[in-house]
Amino acid sequence: MIFKKNGVKGLTLLEAVLDIIIAVLIIIILFYVFSAVFGIFFGDKQKAQATGQLDDIMRTLQAVKLTGDKFGFLLQNPTGWRFVSFVNGANDNAKISLSCGSGNCVCICPKPTFGKANCPEGQCKVIDYPLVFNDAPFAIPIEIKDYCIQLKNNKFVLTEGEKCDSPTNLNSLLAEKRSLDKISGVMESASTHNINAKFSDTKRCECGTECKNYANLILQNSESNEIPDALLVVAIMIQESSCKADFKTASSFGLLGIGNIVGWENPETNIAEGIKKLKSSYDLVQDKPANYDPYKCGYKYEDAWQRAVRGYKGYECSDLNYADDVFERYSQLVQVANKQTVGQ
């Protein structure tokens, strides 16, 4: 009887221990489940904040590049992350987001980036010019602070502790900057200065006495079709025809290289139809991914307007560097508009 009683007591104690172990395991499981759910929710929130912050920075860089003016932004989210610039050739052993490749890049990164630069899980964007702070790439801890950016000597220069206007409406800013006199002046300058491209011939805008007329038509049609910068149309015109109304090939006709329609020789018709074509191309590709490449030609364009210019020419595997050449010429025209030098 004593053995049985001791056995019962032993069994009861074992059951109690097992209950405690099970309870502890349940608590551990619940803790990990809660942590995972919280981490997913909190991580998604931080990624959304990083995307929004990066969009603000990119708008500022775009405004600085296109207007030549100084603009600012508020660096504030997500707390604990880093605002990082990667400069081509200056960040040794950098593990950057795959979207950056090996060029100049700006990122919002979740991990400390001092020492060896790294940002494999960050939100990143490719930029045209190096972004530097104290003349070097940087990794700045994110805390609420104002920063300004200006373009100097082909570098985006970041400064802190200064309050600058933010580019709330880039289209309005450009509308003020890209007056008729400004556009016609750029075209006249491009008639006597080479506008270079890496993959195709050096060209000029041979508009002669028609520069102001063409500029007026470009401005009017760009505004009605919501083209962000009329100078992009000028770049296409230089690429297609060197601004010569009677220029034609087997497949492209007139100033903007449109199809063989009735009236293509008329600048008013040609410019109107060309800009409509550009806007239609943009509408088709604006929501496509950067690697949109229906014919597997190797195209990849981060910016929707780069994809639009590629679509303007066609996504087939011909004239592979068309969009790159147009945007290289466009960059030079922007420099002229901002009273910077352009190569002779």
Sorted by where each begins, the domain ranges of the chain are 48-168, 178-337
Report the pLDDT value the prediction gives residue 121, as an integer from 0 to 100. Answer: 74
Q: Mind listing the pLDDT tens digit of every residue in the chain (344 residues)?
A: 434 445 555 567 777 777 788 878 888 777 766 654 444 444 588 888 999 999 999 999 989 988 888 999 999 989 889 999 988 766 554 556 556 766 788 999 886 644 445 677 778 888 888 999 998 999 899 999 999 999 998 899 999 988 898 887 777 777 777 889 899 999 999 999 999 998 999 999 999 999 999 999 999 999 999 999 999 999 999 999 999 999 999 999 999 999 999 999 999 999 999 999 999 999 999 999 989 999 999 999 989 999 999 999 999 999 999 999 999 999 999 999 987 444 43
Cα separation, 334 vs 232, in Å, equals 9
DSSP H helices, the chain, are: 2-67, 170-177, 180-190, 211-224, 230-241, 267-285, 304-313, 322-337
For the segment(s) 178-337, the CATH number from 1.10.530.10, 3.30.70.260, 2.170.130.10, 2.120.10.30 is 1.10.530.10
pLDDT of residue 38: 47
Give dist(CA 77, CA 140) in Å, integer: 12
Count, in order, helices (H) and strands (E) of the chain.
Answer: 8, 8
**What is the phi/psi pair of residue 105, to 5°?**
-150, 150
What pLDDT was estimated at residue 323? 97
263: left (phi over 0), alpha (psi -120 to 50) or beta: left
Task: Enumerate residues 6+ apart whose C-beta is below 8 A from 41.
Answer: none
Strand order in the sheet with 71-75: 71-75, 145-152, 155-160, 131-133
